[in-house]
Every structure is written in structure tokens, then in C-alpha cells.
Amino acid sequence: MRQLTIALLIVASGSLANAQQAKPLASPEILPDGRVTFRLIAAKADEVLLTGEFLPAPQSFVRDADGVWSITVGPIPPEIYHYNFTIDGVRTIDPSNPQLKTGSTPSTISSVLEVSHPSPAFYDAQPVPHGEIRTHWYQSKSLGTTRRLTVYTPPGYDTSQSVRYPVLYLFHGANADENAWYRLGRANLILDNLLSAGTIKPFIVVMPFGYGVTPGGGPQADNTAKFGKDLIDDVIPYIDGSYRTLSNRGNRAIVGLSMGGGQALNIGLNNIALFSYVGGFSAAIGNAAAFPKTYATLASNAAEANSKLKLLWIGCGTDDSLFGASKSFSEWLTASNVTHTFRETGGAHTWMVWRRYLNEVAPLLFR
């Protein structure tokens, strides 16, 4: 609580000082050569550090005579990054930047830096037909509570009343929420662009809240089981009853990242009667010693799984702490004669990797 109070006071004082200036403090400022300058007013601070996905280690700001701290780093390649300031040991956001990464727990809060590509990136909004993002509240009988989920409908959904659509169930990671895949992953824009290019067929995307227990509080061991029950008993029936879906396993996919990747693999591979396409991005798959028990039915019926699964896709960046687990799972699947794709790429545990994976996997669905 003390650290939070300090952070709020620092941010508030910085915001007040900014308001008193004739010219607002620019932070971040992207320079023509691709370098980026970050600034902060904190006249009484003793140390300010910058951490970010574009840095290998924290770097120190320098304070001028007016109490303005600044640092210039880079050049930084075009991408979308997350970063934080640390002021006298307290991690906080950039008070001059309204672009934020938020989620279901305070630990996920960061500032967002977007360095634009010279031409539109695959995740940028482009002049193409756009789908819609819709929010729904539903009653989860399995969890005994009211919950929220997010749905992407492709362009033309409302005007093509006779058309029914496949469904991708797309899961976020730990500390995030049901908004993460479109706010941070830009899933809707990626799919809009792929649709316009003719590389995918239209499908609905359902992004549920991935916690069956309280996020960040108390035992998390039962989370996948409780979330899976909510998904199968409540979410899927709700979606099939609310949207024009093709409600059969051949038109149903389940994919997730990190925590959600582990959930997608666990739920999908233990319920191949419901899903034909299964994918895990940087999946929190657990210990290799548990694979034979967790996926016993899959391993004992590999031929059946291979005949029913149209896609089993696992990807992870080599700089990701979960790379070893993903590789071990791929090796176990191979030893169990389960057909799959293992995608080894560069990158760490970041949205930069997961956006690329969605862009790569989406064209493989519902073919």
C-alpha cells in the first residue's frame, strides 16, 4: 500500500507539473531516426529507471536543472512495446502517455509504445471492411456467477442473415482479461486484413475471461478445470444460442497464449469430440512428467486423434522461459505418435510473438 501511495503521489505531482507547463511534456517522443526519448518530471526523486521490451536491461534517466528526467534509447524497430518507469524503487507508468496495457491484476499495468512501420503492418487498421467487437454478460451456472466475454464478428455478419460461421475460442494469458486479444493483440484488425486479402474464410472469435478462480489470489491449481467447465457447459451453449454458428466439432477451434495456451491444449486435446483445431502459443503447459497422465486418452488413442484433429499447432519463441516446456511437449507428442506442428521462432514472452502467431495460424483454420 505504501509503494502504491508513493507511486500515485509521484504520478500526480508529475501530472500537475505538466499541466502547469506552457508546453506539455512529450513522452514518449519518437525521433526521425527511430530513437525514442522518454521524459518525466519528478524533481525530488533520486533515481529513475526505464524498463521495456525494447531493452535488454533497465537504463537510467538523467535529471536536468529543472527537475526533468529524460533518456533517449534506440533506434527501436517498428513494433508495439510495453514499458515502465521505476522511480526510487517504485514501478509505475509513464504519466505523460495515455496508452496503457491493463488486465485483471495490477501487475500487468504498463505504458504502450508504438513505433509505426513505414507501410501498414499486418496488425494495423487499414482501409478494408471491418468486423465488430461485442461484449456480452452471461450467467455461468457452473461457476455460480455472472461473467463477461468478448466476441468478434466478421464484416457482413449482420447483413448476411443466412450465413452460419465457424468459431474460434481464443484465450488470453495470466493477469489479462477478455479484452486482451483485441486491445493488445489486435486480433480483430489482423483478421480484418486477412479477410480482405482472401487468406482466411470468415469466422467468429469468442474471447472469454480465462479465470475460473480469482486471478492472482488464492490457489490457482483448479483454474483450468473450472474454466474448462464454464467453457463447455456455459460459454459454448451461450454462443451457439446467440450467434449463427456452425455448431459442430469440424467448425470449432480452441487456441490460447501462455496460461490460455495451456488451457487450450488441456481442454482441446481432452475434448476432441468438441474441437478439430487446437493451438498453444508460448503455452504454460506444465511439467513434462505430468504429460502422460494429463493427456492419457490422447496418447492411448493417437490414431483416432490424428484422424479427428485437423490441426494441432504449438509455437514458442526461443527467448521465452516456456520454450523448453513447449519443446518437451512436442517431443512427447512425437513419441506418442500424435501428428502436430511445432513452430520454433525467435522472440520472448510478448504480444509481438503472439500477434505473429495468430496471423500465421488463422489461415490454417477451417480449411
Q: What is the pLDDT of residues 330-358, one digit of tens each?
A: 999 999 999 999 999 999 999 999 999 99
Is the same domain home to 210 and 315? Answer: yes
Instruction: Identify the CATH number of the domain in which residue 66 sits.
Output: 2.60.40.10
- Structural domains of the chain, count: 2
Which pTM does this prediction carry?
A: 0.90
| 146-191 tens-digit pLDDT | 999 999 999 999 998 899 999 999 999 999 999 999 999 999 999 9
**Does 249 share its domain with 292?**
yes
> Does residue 120 lie within any of the structural domains?
no
Q: Are residues 174 and 285 in the same domain?
A: yes
Q: Which CATH number is 301's domain given? A: 3.40.50.1820
**Residues 39 and 95 grouped into a single domain:** yes
Percent of the chain with pLDDT over 70: 92
In a domain, 123, yes or no: no
* pLDDT tens readout for residues 200-230: 999 999 999 999 888 876 566 789 999 999 9
pLDDT digit string (tens) for 261-274? 999 999 999 999 99
pLDDT tens digits, 64-119: 988 899 999 999 999 999 999 999 999 999 999 999 999 888 888 999 999 999 89
User: In this structure, are 297 and 148 located in the same domain?
Assistant: yes
Domain identity same for 204 and 101: no
pLDDT of residue 6 exceeding 90, the answer is: no
The answer to the question of residue 319 being in a domain is yes
The single-letter code of the amino acid at 136 is: H
- 3-state SS, the chain, equals CHHHHHHHHHHHHHHHHHHHCCCCCCCCEECCCCCEEEEEECCCCCCEEEEECCCCCCEECEECCCCEEEEEECCCCCEEEEEEEEECCEEECCCCCCCEECCCCHHHCEEEEEECCCCCCCCCCCCCCCCEEEEEEEEECCCCEEEEEEEEECCCCCCCCCCCECEEEEECCCCCCCCHHHHCCCHHHHHHHHHHHCCCCCCEEEEECCCCCCCCCCCCCCHHHHHHHHHHHHHHHHHHHHCCECCCHHHEEEEEECHHHHHHHHHHHCCCCCCCEEEEECCCCCCHHHHHHHCHHHHHCHHHHHHHCCEEEEEEECCCCCHHHHHHHHHHHHHCCCCCEEEEECCCCCHHHHHHHHHHHHHHCCC
